[in-house]
Amino acid sequence: MARSLFTSKGSSLHLRENQRFLSDLLSLNSVHFPQQVHGTNVVVISESEQEVAQADAVVTTLRGVGVGVIVADCLPLLISGPDIVGAVHAGRRGLLAGVIERTIEVMVEQSAYPISTFSAEIGPSICGRCYEVSQEMHDELVVNFPALSQGVEGRRLNLQSEALRRLREGGIVSLRDVEICTRESEAFYSYRSGDLIERQAGVISL
Ligand SMILES: [Zn+2]
């Protein structure tokens, strides 16, 4: 059974301190965060001392080793199977570039279980009422990815609905969105509300 958590404001920590704080909190040997670049690279942690390079998803089959991402409006996505866990940083760019599909691919390669036994959870992130982009970008994106316009008005994008669609198409049946908007909730950092440096974390471990 995987353990996971999303931090909120108040754990205003930098990455190194975050790692120690979170590994202590979850009684883990270590927690690994990637150097996020809004891409589709997935790193597999195969030893607890391993340094994580540039990537937007981290996966491990090791017990007692956490993987995490840091976000402030982007989607922190945690995926777990019976013998594997993964953390994905899914902002608009990485999401549309295929970081979710790539993570599922790697997790299936590494796991002995079928993807239908996996579950996924979307943590606090900017919602479709609040995520406004330029008209041009909006129009171009919703033509290719209609789920982005699900339930939202004007030139806004629903990243959660696009992420859920991709997870479902990837074969994950058990899906959950915590449905907390970082822009609207005072409890979370939001880049669009002016939190340019501080981030919250999503962490998961076996
Ligand atoms: Zn919102």
Q: Which two tokens stand for residue 2?
A: 């995987």
Q: Is the pLDDT of residue 130 over 90?
A: yes
Q: Is residue 133 in a domain?
A: no
C-alpha 180 – ligand 1 centre gap (Å): 8
Structure confidence by residue, pLDDT tens digits, 2-53: 899 999 887 655 656 677 788 888 889 999 999 999 999 999 999 988 888 8
Residues at Cβ < 5 Å from ligand 1 ion: 127, 129-130, 181, 183-184
Residue 132 resides in a domain = no
Structurally, the chain folds into a number of domains equal to 1
Judge whether 34 lies within some domain.
yes
Q: Is residue 46 part of a domain?
A: yes
pLDDT reported for residue 13: 57
Distance between Cα 184 and ligand 1 center (Å)? 5
pTM of the model: 0.94
CATH number for the domain that contains residue 59: 3.60.140.10
Ligand 1 centroid to Cα of residue 126, in Å, is 5
| Residue 181: per-residue pLDDT | 98
Report residue 143's pLDDT band, with 50, 70 and 90 as the boundaries: very high
Q: For residue 200, how far is its CA from the centre of ligand 1 (angstroms)? A: 17
Distance from the alpha carbon of residue 177 to the mean position of ligand 1, in angstroms: 14
157 part of a folded domain: no
Q: What is the reported pLDDT for 25? A: 81
How many angstroms does the Cα of residue 158 sit away from the middle of ligand 1?
Answer: 10
- Asked if 43 contacts 68 with a C-beta cutoff of 8 angstroms, the reply is no
Please name which of 7, 77, 74, 69 lies closest in space to residue 32, comparing C-alpha atoms. Answer: 69
- Tell me how far the alpha carbon of residue 168 lies from the centroid of ligand 1, in angstroms: 23
From ligand 1's centre to the CA of 181, what distance in Å? 5
**Ligand 1 center–CA 197 separation, angstroms:** 20
In whole angstroms, what separates CA 41 from the centre of its chain?
A: 13
Residue 137: inside a domain = no
Domain limits at 60? 3-121+165-201
Sequence-ordered list of residues with C-beta below 8 angstroms from that of 134, at least 6 positions apart, any chain: 155
116 domain residue, yes or no = yes
Does residue 156 sit within a domain? Answer: no
CA–CA dist 158, 21 (Å, integer): 32
Q: Give me the chain's average pLDDT, please.
A: 93
State the average pLDDT over residues 78-88: 98
Cα 144 to middle of ligand 1, angstroms: 23
- CA–CA dist 95, 76 (Å, integer): 11
What is residue 147's predicted lDDT score, i.e. its pLDDT? Answer: 98
Task: Name beta bridge partners: 204.
Answer: 4, 67
pLDDT, residue 71, reads: 93
